[in-house]
Amino acid sequence: MRSVSGSGERLLAILGLFSEDTPEWAPEDMMQALGFSRPTLYRYLKTLKDAGYLVSLPQAGYTLGPRVTELDFLMRRSDPLIAASDPHLEALARAFVGSAFVVRFYDRNMLCVASEVSTPTPRSSYPRGRPMPIGKGAVSRAIVAFLPPKDRAALVSDYLDAFVTSGIGTTKDAVLTELKRIRRNRVATARGEVTPGLVGVAAPILAGDGTPVGALCLSTEEATLTDTRLAALRETIRDRAEAISDALSHPQARASA
């Protein structure tokens, strides 16, 4: 049972229940998960339904509503990360066959928010909107490597099994050492960790204070990627991620360009 107080927290707690594993909720299950009384729950459910955040049918549970789709549309039009990344995604997709995408990082979540594909048969286990795993893949390492030291160590501790399974170290210290190396190189590479047969190359997108807001990545078929091509991809990803970071840190320069 979650501990929440205040109207805003209660509304967010209800919306926070919905996930890929549980996209539909019955009121009884909501009460058990959140500890709300029936009158309290139904009061907030009515508020969310009236605002379009939830929908329901008679004798059925609640699911997310059309307002969520509307907000997604508005985010895609207004998110500065997407705006700064779009030309780089297009250029990456032209230069390398595969799926180029940008990931946003928030509250220990990594989410693809925009992508560009240059292969007729794209393969991805984590398309736009589906949360990506922490500890597996190039995106995770590129982002975690640039967290402040205390946050980095805490996250590695909490997801150590995933980091170890990915093969970058067998202990916390070994994982942190590898992340420091990635931090120096400003680019990470992973082979088949997220999707079998694919190589992912990612570099961090940083805010003005040096903390990660996301990552730029391209995934491509390992069978077609030579060492020379991989080296070129790593350099390109790193350079374009740095350009996006610079654009986010200097929005006036981006607007006048």
Per-residue pLDDT at 1: 42
* Stated pTM of the model: 0.85
Per-residue pLDDT at 132: 87
**Residue 38: both structure tokens together:** 């029936």
Chain position carrying tokens 């070994």: 174
Torsion (CA) 168, 171, 174, 178 in degrees, nearest 10? 30
Supply the CATH classification number for the domain 79-256.
3.30.450.40
pLDDT in tens, 46-103: 999 999 999 998 778 999 999 999 999 999 999 999 999 999 999 999 999 999 999 9
Q: What percent of the chain has pLDDT over 90?
A: 74
**Residue 179: both structure tokens together:** 């992340």
Task: Name the pLDDT band for 44 (thresholds 50, 70, 90).
Answer: very high
Task: Name the pLDDT band for 37 (thresholds 50, 70, 90).
Answer: very high
Average pLDDT, integer, range 23-38 = 95
Per-residue pLDDT at 159: 95
SS3 at position 226? coil
Whether the CA torsion 121, 124, 129, 130 is positive or negative: it is positive
**Residue 7: both structure tokens together:** 């109207």
Give the domain ranges of the chain. 7-69, 79-256
Q: What is the mean pLDDT of the chain?
A: 90
Q: Looking at the domain 7-69, which fold is it?
A: Arc Repressor Mutant, subunit A (1.10.10)
Task: Name the pLDDT band for 224 (thresholds 50, 70, 90).
Answer: confident
Q: Bigger pLDDT: 4 or 12? A: 12
Of 62, 51, 4, nearest to 28 by C-alpha is: 62
Q: Bigger pLDDT: 2 or 144? A: 144
Task: Name the pLDDT band for 120 (thresholds 50, 70, 90).
Answer: confident
Average pLDDT, integer, range 201-211 = 95
CA–CA separation, 149 and 187 (whole Å): 18
